[in-house]
Amino acid sequence: MRYSGSVLSVSGVTKRFGGLVAVDNLSFDVSEHEVMGIIGPNGSGKTTMLNMISGVFKPSMGVISMKGGRISDLPAQEIARRGVGRTFQLVRLLPTMSVLENVVAGAVFGHRRRWGREAEDQAHQMLERVGLEAMAFAPISSLTYIDQKRLELARVLAGDPEVLLLDEWLAGLNPTELETGIELIQDLRREGRTIILVEHVMDAIRSLCDRCVVMSSGVKIAEGTPDDVLSDREVIRAYLGDDDA
């Protein structure tokens, strides 16, 4: 079933929290250098799906594998070492450390492990990459919201992830910041990274994603190019309700 070139594959994954089925028998593949969007209304299970890939939760059923190796029964740190990096829906930084140290944290224990000078050089490069180099020695408390998001991204990139998971990385940005943000992800895309993004910003989805999976109430209701899925009747119904479909 799995075609070659698939980096990450999710097959038949279900997650139950007590009686609630957050993700219901979901399957999809992500191939190398592909940017894939997971979209859907609030509460449709997108973040839960991301959490299962990164190892926060284990699936109740089904298998997630990376390059043919099963990762769904590994702890989060092991998945990170295999090359899955993620940002969080609510930005998570290390408040007692400097901007630079925050990025070094990503470089030291990640997919490629560095230490000392090498880790610091890598961190400086990543800060430059996201446009935050000028703030390298600033305390976290001095960062604006977009800068916090940039910093989190720099930390993730510092570990050289093969698969990048972005959980609503563009949410909460103002229009100018949004433009900067989309450009940044465009750049990553051009570098040929494999990215899975959970997103609500439709402009971003259209301009960034090669393919989208649409979820509603934990179930996959559509899959295809952004234009295709966004004109799908089922998808419109999930977002807007029956009357508009």
Partner 1 sequence: MKVASWKELGIAALIALLAALVPLVFDAYWLSVSVTAMMYIALCTSWALFSGPTHYISLATGAFFGIGGYLVGTGMSDYEVSFWVMAAISPIVATLLAALIGLATLRLSGVYFVIFTLGLAEMIRNLVSWIQNNFLGSRGLYVLTDFTESHIYWMLLIIACFVYLLGWLVARSRLGFALKIIGNDEAVAKHVGINTAMSKVILFMTTGFFAALVGAVIAPRYTYIEPNQVFSPELSFLVVIMALLGGAGRLWGPLVGVIPFTLIWEFVSIQAPNSTTLFLGVVFLLIVYVLPHGFVGRIEQLNKKLREGRS
Q: Closest distance between partner 1 and the C-beta of residue 210, in Å?
A: 25
Give 39 or 79: the residue with its C-beta nearer to partner 1. Answer: 79
CA distance 226 to 228: 5
163 contacts 111 by C-beta, under 8 angstroms: no
Q: Distances in Å between the alpha carbon of 223 and those of 83, 187, 214, 230, 237? A: 25, 24, 6, 10, 15
65 and 143 in contact (C-beta within 8 Å)? no
| Residue 109 vs 239, nearer CB to partner 1 | 109
Which residue is listed with tokens 């769904």?
72
Q: How far is the CB of 78 from partner 1 (least distance, A)?
A: 8
- From the list 145, 150, 135, the residue with the least C-alpha distance to 97 is 135
- 35-39 vs 20-31, strand pairing mode: unpaired
- Please identify, using beta-carbon distances, which residue of 106 and 226 lies nearer to partner 1: 106
Q: Strands (DSSP E) along 144-218, which ranges?
A: 163-167, 194-198, 211-216
**Shortest separation between residue 105's beta carbon and partner 1, angstroms:** 5
User: Given the complex with partner 1, which of 115 and 145 has the nearer CB atom?
Assistant: 115
For partner 1, the binding residues (CB under 8 A) are: 54-56, 75-77, 80-81, 85-86, 88, 92-97, 104-106, 108-111, 113, 115, 155, 159
Amino acid identity, position 156:
V
Closest CA to 218 of 20, 7, 1, 8: 20
Q: How far is the CB of 159 from partner 1 (least distance, A)?
A: 6
Least distance to partner 1, CB of residue 116, Å: 10
φ and ψ at 126, to 5 degrees?
-70, -35
Nearer Cβ to partner 1 (159/226) = 159
Nearer to partner 1, 24 or 160 (CB): 160
Smallest gap from Cβ 37 to partner 1, in A, equals 21
